[in-house]
Structure 1
Amino acid sequence: MQSRHLTSDAASERSGTGHSAGIGEAPRSNEASGTDPGRRELLLYPAYGPVEAVLGFVMFYVVVDHMTPVVVSALAGPLPGFVPEPATTVAAIFLWFILGLSLFGMAQDQLRENPRRFASRAQREEFLAQNRPTRSSYAYHLVVLVVGGLTAALAWETFLEVLEALMLVPVEGTGLLSPAVGPVEIAIFVVFTVTFAAFSRAADRLAIGALRDVGYRVSRR
């Protein structure tokens, strides 16, 4: 009688042990699959735009720096009390204002969707793989960078000449462009504007795309 009771207790203990082991194994299975519902994978992912914004501000600074003495010289006759001060001060304040807007815009773009959250590491790696630049994207933007940069460099001097003529129209009050500025010069002015914008965008896509590619490769290790 006692023997049967011990046997029954032993069987019950073995059954309870097996049940406990089954409960203990479940978290290990979830951890191995990377689908722990309480865990979130975070990712700081660079957004496109900062390189393009920086190049745009640099170009704006160069243009303002070049045009300020031209405008100051033109205003010396009709508005002698306005030049060189406060005209140069206004130009400097304007530059700082544009810089602040550029920095605010860049920060807003980067923070809008960062950090990104994923339910598992597998989802995070899938996102990195789908959004990395392709070889054709690298090739396309590299061609645009070279062609756009060379074209903009060739059109730079004419661009400044036309810009000076445009800026002097309201100052001189004639309402007419300089006779030296014709349809060809206007066309070159437009070409510079378009090609520099394409150059800046391509440089941004190459630089930020390379960062995204690095993030993908690091995640695969």
Structure 2
Amino acid sequence: MNTYADSESRRDARDRPAIPAYGPIDALLGFVMFYVLVDRATPTFVDVIPTVLPSVSPSLVRLGLALALWFVFVVTSIDQIRRQLAALGVITHDAITPSSRRRGTPTETEALLYLVLALVGGTVAAWTFDRGIETAVSLIPVVVTIDVTAFVPEDFAVMVVFFLSFGVASYALDRLLIGGLRATFAE
């Protein structure tokens, strides 16, 4: 094979429009995590909010949480649609610049880095999932009632590690899978 021709075809592939845009897998995983958190926190909210605001019924608290889920879903969906349209060049989006539309597929080194980040971040997130979610839910009464004596710094640190590792893993997985789709479309 001619090395010059191979490098030319790679450069041409990297100069093609980058379709699909990065972000949908990261957004989907983020929404699923938000749903899990709201699902687990709903009983706590239903118990705590009426003690602070007695005129608020538990059914109204549940309705508010359901509306929050739908709001986040709609806003996330609209943002992802705008990102994909911006990648096509139909509209503009702050996260999609003309130069990033032409970026193409990730290099092998970038793909390997994203794979390692996805595996390490996913493993740490899996190890800390239960404790991280439990801590997030247990912080609701602490924040609502301003009871700092119930705050446990070690649990808070685990929760921060969980959300950071989950964020890194979902970002890396998005880059890895969307980059793979881009490479498939580029051929």
TM-score over 0.5 for the pair: yes
- The answer as to 2:58 corresponding to 1:88 is no
Cα separation, 1, equivalents of 2:149 and 2:121: 28
Question: Do the aligned partners of 1:44 and 1:115 also contact (CA within 8 Å) in 2?
Answer: no
Question: Do the aligned partners of 1:50 and 1:204 also contact (CA within 8 Å) in 2?
Answer: yes
> Which amino acid in the other structure matches residue 140 of structure 2?
M
Mapping for residues 128-167 of structure 1, pairs under 5 Å: 131-167=104-140
Q: CA offsets per residue over residues 26-47 of structure 1, 9 Å max, x none? A: xxxxxxxxxxxxxxxx968211
**Structure 1 stretches of 4+ moved >3 Å:** 75-81
The residue that corresponds to 1:49 in the other structure is 23
Aligned pair count reads 162
Q: Deviation at 1:83?
A: 3.3
Cα separation, 1, equivalents of 2:131 and 2:72: 25
Using structure 2 for the length normalisation, give the TM-score: 0.77
Cα separation, 2, equivalents of 1:89 and 1:134: 46
Q: Deviation at 1:59?
A: 0.4
- The answer as to 2:111 corresponding to 1:111 is no
Cα separation, 2, equivalents of 1:188 and 1:197: 14
Cα separation, 2, equivalents of 1:77 and 1:185: 25
Question: Do the aligned partners of 2:121 and 2:168 also contact (CA within 8 Å) in 1?
Answer: yes
- The answer as to 2:161 corresponding to 1:191 is yes
> Which amino acid in the other structure matches residue 181 of structure 2?
L
Quick one: structure 1 residues 43 and 133, their matched pair in 2 at CA, closer, same or farther if it must change by over 3 Å?
closer
Cα separation, 1, equivalents of 2:44 and 2:119: 31
Cα separation, 1, equivalents of 2:73 and 2:170: 17
Quick one: structure 1 residues 74 and 47, their matched pair in 2 at CA, closer, same or farther if it must change by over 3 Å?
same
Cα separation, 2, equivalents of 1:83 and 1:153: 35
Quick one: structure 1 residues 188 and 170, their matched pair in 2 at CA, closer, same or farther if it must change by over 3 Å?
closer
Q: CA offsets per residue over residues 64-98 of structure 1, 9 Å max, x none? A: 11101111122354445423211100110111000
Quick one: structure 1 residues 101 and 46, their matched pair in 2 at CA, closer, same or farther if it must change by over 3 Å?
same
- The answer as to 2:38 corresponding to 1:70 is no
Higher helix proportion: 2
The residue that corresponds to 1:169 in the other structure is 142
CA RMSD across the alignment: 2.3
- The answer as to 2:187 corresponding to 1:214 is no
Cα separation, 1, equivalents of 2:146 and 2:157: 24
Larger-gyration structure (1/2): 1
Q: CA offsets per residue over residues 132-173 of structure 1, 9 Å max, x none? A: 222212211111111101101111122123212321123334
> Which amino acid in the other structure matches residue 191 of structure 1?
V
Give the unaligned 5+ runs of structure 2.
Answer: 1-15, 91-100
